[in-house]
Amino acid sequence: VALHDVDAAGILFFGHLFRHAHDAYEAFMADIGFPLDRLIREGAGKLPLVHAEADYALPMRHGEEVEARLQVESLGRTSFTLSYRFLDAAGRECASASTVHVYLAGDPSGLTAHPLPKVLRTLLQNWTAVSAED
């Protein structure tokens, strides 16, 4: 929790949690071999968020170490849902969040929801399985 993350009350500004969730998402996508920057540059499709939500249980203070854990919550035909848990050094859940991403493709002037690319579906599925075993 950096100085620019907290507000005058000394705790994480709620909106910044989504920045950290997205950092975890970007790191995850790069890890599984589907980096977002390549997707955006190649222009084949987009994965915009259509929903985001978060619950805040404990204040996250300046200087605290908070770990973000990401999980593939569900995998639809054209979308997927990720969930995030934010844990402090003692392992307590400070916050949780989830984001829903939909795959848009087609001609640039009229992007519509498309089935997730096979490679992405497989990558996410593998990861769901691994996660489910834990």
# residues near its own copies by CB under 8 A: 43
- Per CB under 8 A, the list member of 32, 52, 87, 113 interacting with its own copies is 52
CA distance 89 to 54: 20
**Is 114:99 a contact under the CB 8 Å cutoff?**
no
89 lines the binding site for its own copies (CB under 8 A): no
114 lines the binding site for its own copies (CB under 8 A): no
CA distance 90 to 96: 16
Least distance CB 56 / its own copies (angstroms) = 5
DSSP strands (E only) in the chain: 49-56, 67-75, 79-87, 93-102, 104-105, 112-113
76 lines the binding site for its own copies (CB under 8 A): no
62 lines the binding site for its own copies (CB under 8 A): yes
Query: Which residues contact its own copies by CB under 8 A?
Result: 2-4, 6-11, 13-16, 18-19, 21-23, 26, 30, 35-38, 40-41, 46, 48-57, 59, 61-64, 99
